[in-house]
Amino acid sequence: MSNNIIDTDSEDEIPPGWEERVTFEGRVFYASHDQQNTQWKHPVTGKEKYVRGELPYGWERVIQDDGTIVYVDHINKKTCFTDPRLAFAEPLKTSPKDFRQKFDGNSSALQILNGRDLTGKYAIITGASDGIGYETAKSLAFHGATIIMACRNTEKAEKCKSNILKDRPKATIEILHLDLASLRSVKQFAEEYKRRAWPLHMLILNAGVFGLPYVVTENDLEMTFQVNHLSHFYLTKLLYDLLVSSAPSRVVVLSSESHRFPKIHMVEDVTEDSLSLPKDKYSDMNAYNISKLCNNLFSLHLNKLLAGKKVTSNSLHPGSCISTNLQRNWWLYRVVFFIVRPFTKSKQQGAATTVYCATHPDVEEIGGMYFNNCCPCQPSKESMDEQLAEKLWTVSETILQDRLARLTSI
């Protein structure tokens, strides 16, 4: 090794006499004090890097009278000349799909958000009063986002809000009632949200049910199908224009690896009876699997409709058998979840992929994908079938319009 290169295990280490700096636009450059010149490429690796996004929470960029840029850390009351985002500098990408995995199944939601400031961002999270939804709400609130907890049980949501505010008194959290088993409630939620004139940067469709006995909603639909898919479909349609006007914004749909198991393979298989199962064809696991395939296909087609509008949609698998309240409906599921609990993710880890898809710069221009462990992965071939996705959208629209017509006729 030459004498002017420091002996280190890190290939990104800057040699003596060099300094790493950032332009106002976020491009990293390197200044040589010995040679009195600058260059874009790392003096050792030859890589070009950049930083993007906002400064970390509590930091401010200040331009002094002489034009010097300094960075003020208001939390720790310190000032420096180094952009704190340099700690998160990334190699320059040649394509949005030039993806490098930085997190995995052991990462937590708060680790994903390290150094991020989401002040000014508004996020709707359905089912935010429990489990992964609560951890998602807490993590985003801790980093400055305005959280709208969309919950059926508002009393429980108030307790969750209080818990978050104990740790972050300055967190901004609103609670709006939303019962996904009622299309009327979905409409009322969307109308109330719009009435308050809030923007919408993150629509996180987290709520879901699992392991139910056969139950029909007030809209005459099988409960799992309506709660897990159709009501989220309706909610997104009602908020579609707001997502576009608030762009850049993102839709995040929580799916599951269970999406791989339904016997829906062709366009002809997508009918109302194959989605909202009748009683004689019902099994709780099959209904859940179907709803999760619907989540993937819905996200895929939604992303296609949003192309060019700076709004993306992705679906994800948060983790298997995470100990939430999802398994509450049958004692056997509760036993199974209890047994496997030591081997599964925590709820904070379960929220990581949601938070990653909703906020991370790496996913800013990526849509129509399926994520697992904070990384794009291959879903079932049915989940990538655009014709199947379009058919699901059409059938869902037909079912929705039929049920809404029944409401107006009452």
Domains and CATH numbers, the chain: 18-91 (2.20.70.10), 109-409 (3.40.50.720)
Q: Name which residue leads in pLDDT, 92 or 38.
A: 38
In 10 A of CB 83, how many CB atoms? 22
User: Would you state the structure tokens that stand for residue 303, as one six-digit string?
Assistant: 């992303």
In 10 A of CB 114, how many CB atoms? 12
User: Would you state the structure tokens that stand for residue 111, as one six-digit string?
Assistant: 């680790």
Would the pLDDT of 4 be above 70?
no
Burial track 116-155 (b if 16+ CB lie within 10 A, e otherwise): bbbeebbbbbbbbbbbbbbbbbbbbbbbbbbbbbbbbeee
- Classify residue 150 as left (phi > 0), alpha (psi -120 to 50) or beta: beta
- Local confidence band at 5 (pLDDT 50, 70, 90 cut-offs): very low
CA 243 to chain centre: 14
Would the pLDDT of 396 be above 80?
yes
- Local confidence band at 29 (pLDDT 50, 70, 90 cut-offs): confident
- pLDDT single digits (tens) 143-163: 999 999 999 999 999 999 999
Would the pLDDT of 331 be above 60?
no
Average pLDDT over residues 350-375: 94
The predicted pLDDT at position 335 comes to 53
Alpha-carbon gap, residue 359 to 116, rounded angstroms: 9
Alpha-carbon gap, residue 312 to 387, rounded angstroms: 19
Prediction pTM value: 0.79
Average pLDDT over residues 288-296: 96
Amino acid at site 101? Q
DSSP class of residue 69 equals E
CA 102 to chain centre: 16
In 10 A of CB 219, how many CB atoms? 22
- Local confidence band at 326 (pLDDT 50, 70, 90 cut-offs): low
- pLDDT single digits (tens) 235-261: 999 999 999 999 999 999 999 988 998
**Which residues pair with residue 222 across a beta bridge?**
216
In 10 A of CB 284, how many CB atoms? 18
Instruction: Give me the active site residues, please.
Output: 288
Alpha-carbon gap, residue 204 to 223, rounded angstroms: 20
- Which stretches of 46-182 are DSSP H helices? 109-112, 131-142, 154-167
User: Would you state the structure tokens that stand for residue 243, as one six-digit string?
Assistant: 């997502």
Average pLDDT over residues 163-190: 97
- Classify residue 17 as left (phi > 0), alpha (psi -120 to 50) or beta: left
Please state, for a pLDDT cut of 90, what percent of the chain lies above it. 60
* Cα separation values, 278 from 220, 273, 286, 402, Å: 10, 6, 12, 17
* Cα separation values, 288 from 213, 323, 389, Å: 11, 17, 18
The predicted pLDDT at position 102 comes to 81
Q: For the sheet with 146-151, list strands across it.
A: 172-177, 146-151, 122-126, 202-205, 249-254, 311-317, 370-372, 375-377
- pLDDT single digits (tens) 64-74: 888 788 889 88
Alpha-carbon gap, residue 86 to 49, rounded angstroms: 10
